[in-house]
Structure 1
Amino acid sequence: MKCQRTLRCHLLFLSLVVPATGFAHERPDRPPSFLDGPVTATHYDGVGDDLLTAGLGASGLASATPPAVSSDPTAAEIRRLAIYNNYRALVPTDAGNGYGVFYGPGVDANGQPTGEEGLIAGTEYLAFAGPRSGRVNVTLMVQVPDSFDVDAPCLITAPSSGSRGIYGAIGTAGEWGLKHGCAVAYTDKGTGNGAYSLQGNRAIGIDGRVDDADALGKEATFVARMSPRQRERFNSEFPDRYAFKHAHSRLNPEQDWGRNVLQSIEFAFYVLNTQFGDEGRGRHRRLRFEPDNTLVIASSVSNGGGASVRAAELDTRGLIDGVAVSEPNVNPRKARFAIVQGTQAPLYDHSRSLFDYTTLLNVYQGCASLAEPTAPFNLAPSAEACTSLHEKGLLSAGTAAAQAAEAQQIINDAGWNPEQNIVQPSHWFLNVPQSISVTYANAYGRADVRTNLCGYSFAATDPVTGAPVSLAPDAELRLFGTGNGIPPTGGINLVNNASVGGVVENRVSVSPSSGRADQNLDGALCLRALATGRDPVTGERLRGAARAMHRHILEGIEQIRASGDLHGKPAIFVTGRNDAILAINHASRAYYGLNQATRGARSQLRYYEVTHAHHLDVLNALPGFAERFVPLHHYLFQGLDLMYAHLRHGTPLPPSQVVHTVPRGAGAPAIGPANLPDIDPNAPAADRIRFGHGTLYVPE
């Protein structure tokens, strides 16, 4: 059961922007100035519906059968589907990986299994941050559990991971915060699952329902900017295409991720003060909850973790007390230091951008996958890619096996950890580097969807021919609940407009330059050229429109570079050594080194690197992963526990260290405490990560 409360209810949220007086609002019934439009509030009783599981409970989230959705789905049905899919996309829900034992709704705040469904009652608030033009809406959400302790208030940020919608961190920072009685501040970071049908002129509203874009108007999560005539012209040449908010907003939303997180915190304080009321009377009246009396931890994973880190860097008003993130997508500015793992050679060429190291991977991984025949779900190795790379002079070896080894070495020489090699083939099969390369090229370059950058576009495809087709109406209506904001998602795939024989799905396309089904090497080389400014084959500098786009992309990347300065805030990074999405030498390790180089003894950042852990825990339920890897998710929760104890009780943070986990091994028996050793408050010297003499030392 739930109670929908609107502007007429006793909360009396205002539907128009009312100027605020900075953060410390003189009138607590006035929303922050960045809100534009209504705030909706829905209470969930924790019986029929709830904040964490949408009424599904621990068993419903673990079920392989998604919740039913009607042919004309309600907002509640779409929300339930979104929570189900977003939770399961990030958190392994099988008992063998610790669900219901170490984490999950059925585990309490102290890490003890309860055997219960774990529904959490409370109120959920939704709003847009503007300006609300229909193409830049950033979704904000605050969940306040009924267990919120007004005498010991706490607030956790949960910006979405990846390009996911507003529920994209529900199972990570969201679950931890709700179970600890904290309010949780979410944002979709302006990337959220905003799919827009150019053919049908249909968009997604804040509640996840699909409608005519003109009817939604400023209430649309995202609409590609163009006139009806321009859209008609585009549709006549490229029918059935979709634009996505992250890729095609033409705003480089990543530059505002940190700001969006700070806005979510301010929104949360407004919500709390409105829900629970202020204190005192007359001129002695004051806000009940302020940064000075409310514990605030910035958290989340991947892109969400990076957003919280950027928020801490931007926070000059003391909104954030501490940071605890997992595998954060950070692009630190370059600094002069070396990274050394064990006895390996020093790496000086670290701190490359995500776009740089991913576009390189996108060129070589199809071939390199042949070098890892035992890798789990290695279902798309490409001898054709090896042959094409060799013909173009990008590989010199003469046999497919030697070419694959050479391609793998190029990847590792670029700073990708060897430990990720066995994970990457599965990601290649899942189109992870391909889709990241395309999405971020468009985002950083502020490209219009009509540009079809490097010949790519997004569309549903025929399962037999691979040709673009109309997305089934029921699939479109479910996009908010099934999509993740970056194709392939919800039935929408990457397509190659330039394929020999006509437009087809990217994975089965044929490159014009080679005449081979080499997984669109031509498109990958085009994206790589936009990263480097040179043709990868000829070495010549780009010219004309390509050169201009390269410069736009570099400008976009500079806008999202991290400074490494957390203003003395205590912080925890937890990262898996086998991460195959974010190269740790360019992300977590590089950021920690930059922070140490710039802050020195004043730094309060701790870095915990976990062995036998990677970026996508959900894969650990599959054969080949189950035997080899442990859930990094467990260590995010441990990091949050450590930060909470540090801020609330003054408990010292453990030193930076490598956490040596134990894989489950043959037969993948259920994971236990022996597999997941704690982060050690007294870590031996041999396990400690150190910075000194211009070098970051990471033990094996």
Structure 2
Amino acid sequence: MKRMMLFALIGATGFALTACKDGKSPFNEIPDFVQGDIQQSSYDGITDDLLTAGLGATGLGSSPAPAFADPLNPTAAELRRLAIYNNYRALVDTAPGGGYGTFFGPQVGSGGEGLIPGEEFIAFMSVPGTDVPVTVMAQVPDSFDPDRPCMVTAPSSGSRGIYGAIGTAGEWGLKKGCAVVYTDKGTGTGAHNLATNSAQRIDGTLSATDGAVQFRADLTDAERAAFESSWPDRFAWKHAHSKANPEADWGRHVLQSIEFGFYVLNEKFGRELGNGEILRTIKPKNTLVIASSVSNGGGASIRAAEQDKNGLIDGIAVSEPNVNPAVDRSFTIRQGEGPVITEHSRSLLDYTTALAVYQGCANQAPAIRDTAPLNAAFNPPVIGENICNSLANKGLVTGATLDDRATDALRILNEGFGVQPEQNLLAPVHFGLAVAQSISLTYANAYGRAGVEDRVCDLSLAATDSAWAVTQLAPAAEAALFATSNGIPPSAGVNIVYDSAEGQPTNLAASASPSSSQPDYGLDALLCLRSLAQGSDAVTGAALTGPQAELASVIAEGIAEVRATGDLQGKPAVFVTGRADAILPINHTSRPYFGLNQRVEGSKGNLRYYEILNAHHLDVLNGFPGVADRYVPLHHYYFQALDLVWANLTEKQPLPPSQVVRTVPRGAITTPLAEVNLPAINPAPDQGDRIVFADNQLRIPE
């Protein structure tokens, strides 16, 4: 360990680890992409640990959240503990009866509180073409066996920080005794307060100096002061404003995290030669490596597997992956006897901006208005009516009444944008949580390589007060951002602000559009984002001109950079996706990727796709009435996917055929989930449950 820290202090000046892959050096050397120090911490599994930050299964499942001794000056350890607590609970339903502690959780399969002792190594890294820091971390549990080495990748889901996959790939890998390698994929908190110049260090503590931080906007002091004068109290955010399109490098980030993991493992377990050199004894050829994670993290691991030219990855197991498959309209998709879907494989920004524009109106459609869980709680009917009116006045929906207009908006999403009807019930709560709105803003900026100073579509990020006006973020809230933010505002007190809202810059959700003079969720701004996504005016269909046309062109190039090839190089792979996923519609993600893979790899491919009925994207919502009675945890099937890939790689057990898994909702939040609700992925499914690709069509059973 002294050697590791010595190299870290010297800097990343040695040979690249990728050179070692080519056999040019048998010795362990710091990868040349590592920037600065590698910080190392040991956890005893009693007072603190790798998986639960010392909280244990009970602490992770309990409220309130762990507190800071001094809210204005939290320690790095306190920030880490709260980050693990929040990131775990954001992805895993810990409510009683939802499966936590029975089917999944730190204590399941390990007993006690599930604390895992071991060491944690964290550093910044970079990729060619940008100097924006990317965080990488390796956790090595004490149970790791160097004679049977294994590694699991855990890139963060969503835009989360370095602990964003702790409760998913992290939990499974650590309990298996594997090293787990994480990366924030160039997203994460990375919040730069333009008023104070403060930003987060790698450990989450704040710094207003020029030291190493997760992100600062690419502005000189004079430029920052000028921007602050015109638009006070704004924030720049790493994913949105790094000018780097980080998603284009997500695959590379994951591959580098694996290389970092091999470096760490050989520092710990490699053969010391007595001359200061360490012989690399843990290598790709003797280490089982599974690329994994969920959502954006799953998409990142897929891209890594596609780009893996050095044989780092042995298998892939992902859940609900955010993957943008290359468009191949030579095949179609059909569910049961439903409509044939030809316009699949739309980009994330395409379908998300459509959801941002139309879903607020569709929430009021009679078919879902009163049955969609949490709709009334999250979506004031008056706002929905205003959105419908504004859309109608622009000729974007038809109908004389609110019911007619809302029904037409829902039809547009279902028929025009390939949103499955099974996703309709959960789409309203996602709109109320500003999911599509925040994704639209963040990814338009990222794909367009825009800076905070560009204020794309007159949108910015800031705290807002009770009157929805811009205000300073409370110091205690800013001090906790590393641990409380999900990396994509609105989050942790920072909101999306429509700077051109009628009257004054206003929280987008309460904004009145200049074209309507009514609070319609700043529809003008959302239509602007939609125009950039489709490359033409969203209202008139006319060609864009001037700077807007230039930005739309750069955005189109950015989207092209993230398209997946469908070539997993024959690696055994499992996708699990919920049919009711209302964030990443399956007709544009998992389904067409599977079809593309069949086109590209054919009989040489080894990808299996399991579509889970009554499952969706955010299991955490299953803890609420109206959701709990209808849906089951996809998380349970994600762990099954990992188990299946593990068994295939270690015991040569064949992967079950692609299939629909017919779960059984529990019917009431007071009824605990049981095995009858969660049938296992079937090694020999009935013919009527099999997903098949034949005659240029992906056929999904009803």
Q: Which moved more, 1:19-28 or 1:73-82?
A: 19-28
User: Residue 653 of structure 2: which of 651, 654, 659 is its match?
Assistant: 651
Whether the 8 Å CA contact 2:458–2:500 is kept in 1: the answer is yes
What is residue 34 of structure 1 aligned with on the other side?
33
- Which residue type is aligned with residue 374 of structure 2? F
User: For this pair of structures, how many residues does the alignment match?
Assistant: 687
- Which residue type is aligned with residue 375 of structure 1? A
What is residue 296 of structure 1 aligned with on the other side?
289
User: Residue 478 of structure 1: which of 452, 477, 480 is its match?
Assistant: 480
What is residue 590 of structure 1 aligned with on the other side?
592
1:171 matched to 2:167? The reply is yes
Runs of at least 5 residues in structure 2 that lack an aligned partner in the other structure: none
For 1:16 and 1:569, the matched residues in 2 are separated by 32
Whether the 8 Å CA contact 2:614–2:632 is kept in 1: the answer is yes
- Which residue type is aligned with residue 334 of structure 1? V
5 Å-filtered alignment, 1:410-425, equals 410-413=412-415, 414-425=417-428
User: Residue 668 of structure 2: which of 663, 666, 669 is its match?
Assistant: 666
- How far residue 280 of structure 1 moved from its aligned partner, in angstroms, is 7.5
Whether the 8 Å CA contact 1:193–1:485 is kept in 2: the answer is yes
What is residue 689 of structure 2 aligned with on the other side?
687
Runs of at least 5 residues in structure 1 that lack an aligned partner in the other structure: none
- How far residue 94 of structure 1 moved from its aligned partner, in angstroms, is 1.7
SS in structure 1 at match of 2:296 = helix
- Which residue type is aligned with residue 660 of structure 1? R
What is residue 385 of structure 1 aligned with on the other side?
387
Whether the 8 Å CA contact 1:574–1:608 is kept in 2: the answer is yes
User: Residue 376 of structure 1: which of 368, 373, 377 is its match?
Assistant: 373
Whether the 8 Å CA contact 1:135–1:220 is kept in 2: the answer is no
SS in structure 1 at match of 2:14 = coil
Change (3 A) 1:544 1:288: same
- Which residue type is aligned with residue 579 of structure 2? R
SS in structure 1 at match of 2:318 = strand
**Root-mean-square deviation (CA), in Å?**
1.8
1:267 matched to 2:260? The reply is yes
SS in structure 1 at match of 2:316 = strand
What is residue 517 of structure 2 aligned with on the other side?
515
Change (3 A) 1:282 1:136: closer
For 2:483 and 2:2, the matched residues in 1 are separated by 23
For 1:244 and 1:283, the matched residues in 2 are separated by 42
Whether the 8 Å CA contact 2:193–2:235 is kept in 1: the answer is yes
Change (3 A) 1:59 1:468: same
- How far residue 466 of structure 1 moved from its aligned partner, in angstroms, is 0.6
1:442 matched to 2:445? The reply is yes
Whether the 8 Å CA contact 1:36–1:132 is kept in 2: the answer is no
User: Residue 355 of structure 2: which of 339, 357, 361 is its match?
Assistant: 361
Change (3 A) 1:285 1:225: closer
For 1:649 and 1:425, the matched residues in 2 are separated by 44
For 1:69 and 1:108, the matched residues in 2 are separated by 31
Of all paired residues, the percent bearing the same amino acid is 55
For 1:279 and 1:644, the matched residues in 2 are separated by 31
What is residue 406 of structure 1 aligned with on the other side?
408
1:317 matched to 2:307? The reply is no
User: Residue 185 of structure 2: which of 175, 186, 189 is its match?
Assistant: 189
- Which residue type is aligned with residue 436 of structure 2? P
User: Residue 248 of structure 1: which of 215, 224, 241 is its match?
Assistant: 241
Note the alpha carbon deviations across 1:191-211, whole angstroms, 9 max, x for none. 121111011101111111111
TM-score (normalised: structure 2):
0.96
For 2:150 and 2:437, the matched residues in 1 are separated by 39
- How far residue 64 of structure 1 moved from its aligned partner, in angstroms, is 1.7
SS in structure 2 at match of 1:518 = coil
Note the alpha carbon deviations across 1:655-690, whole angstroms, 9 max, x for none. 000000000113540001000000000111100000
Whether the 8 Å CA contact 1:135–1:222 is kept in 2: the answer is no
- How far residue 29 of structure 1 moved from its aligned partner, in angstroms, is 4.2
What is residue 454 of structure 1 aligned with on the other side?
457
User: Residue 142 of structure 1: which of 134, 138, 142 is its match?
Assistant: 138
1:18 matched to 2:14? The reply is yes
What is residue 62 of structure 1 aligned with on the other side?
61
- Which residue type is aligned with residue 411 of structure 1? L
Change (3 A) 1:593 1:44: same
- How far residue 133 of structure 1 moved from its aligned partner, in angstroms, is 11
What is residue 327 of structure 1 aligned with on the other side?
320
- How far residue 6 of structure 1 moved from its aligned partner, in angstroms, is 7.1
SS in structure 2 at match of 1:370 = coil
- How far residue 19 of structure 1 moved from its aligned partner, in angstroms, is 2.3
SS in structure 2 at match of 1:41 = strand
For 1:204 and 1:68, the matched residues in 2 are separated by 19
What is residue 76 of structure 1 aligned with on the other side?
77
Whether the 8 Å CA contact 1:331–1:587 is kept in 2: the answer is yes
SS in structure 1 at match of 2:514 = coil
1:154 matched to 2:157? The reply is no
SS in structure 1 at match of 2:340 = coil
For 2:306 and 2:4, the matched residues in 1 are separated by 39
Note the alpha carbon deviations across 1:624-660, whole angstroms, 9 max, x for none. 1110100000000000000000001101100000000
Whether the 8 Å CA contact 1:13–1:29 is kept in 2: the answer is no
Change (3 A) 1:666 1:29: closer
- Which residue type is aligned with residue 342 of structure 2? Y
Q: Which moved more, 1:520-529 or 1:531-540?
A: 531-540
Whether the 8 Å CA contact 2:657–2:683 is kept in 1: the answer is yes
Change (3 A) 1:14 1:295: farther
SS in structure 1 at match of 2:527 = helix
SS in structure 2 at match of 1:598 = helix
Whether the 8 Å CA contact 1:135–1:221 is kept in 2: the answer is no
Whether the 8 Å CA contact 2:320–2:578 is kept in 1: the answer is yes
1:232 matched to 2:232? The reply is no
What is residue 210 of structure 1 aligned with on the other side?
206
- How far residue 276 of structure 1 moved from its aligned partner, in angstroms, is 1.1
For 1:284 and 1:376, the matched residues in 2 are separated by 60
Whether the 8 Å CA contact 2:183–2:253 is kept in 1: the answer is yes
- How far residue 504 of structure 1 moved from its aligned partner, in angstroms, is 1.0
For 1:350 and 1:433, the matched residues in 2 are separated by 19
For 2:670 and 2:626, the matched residues in 1 are separated by 9
For 1:152 and 1:238, the matched residues in 2 are separated by 56
For 2:346 and 2:80, the matched residues in 1 are separated by 37
- Which consecutive aligned stretches of 4+ in structure 1 deviate over 6 angstroms post-superposition? 5-13, 131-134, 279-285
What is residue 333 of structure 2 aligned with on the other side?
339
- How far residue 131 of structure 1 moved from its aligned partner, in angstroms, is 6.2
Note the alpha carbon deviations across 1:373-429, whole angstroms, 9 max, x for none. 211111214011011111101111111001111100100111111100000000000
Change (3 A) 1:440 1:502: same
- Which residue type is aligned with residue 36 of structure 2? G
- How far residue 135 of structure 1 moved from its aligned partner, in angstroms, is 5.8
5 Å-filtered alignment, 1:625-644, equals 625-644=627-646
Change (3 A) 1:389 1:205: same
Whether the 8 Å CA contact 1:140–1:166 is kept in 2: the answer is yes
For 1:334 and 1:29, the matched residues in 2 are separated by 42
- How far residue 35 of structure 1 moved from its aligned partner, in angstroms, is 1.1
For 1:304 and 1:263, the matched residues in 2 are separated by 14
- How far residue 9 of structure 1 moved from its aligned partner, in angstroms, is 6.3
Note the alpha carbon deviations across 1:554-576, whole angstroms, 9 max, x for none. 00000000000001111000000
Whether the 8 Å CA contact 1:41–1:125 is kept in 2: the answer is yes
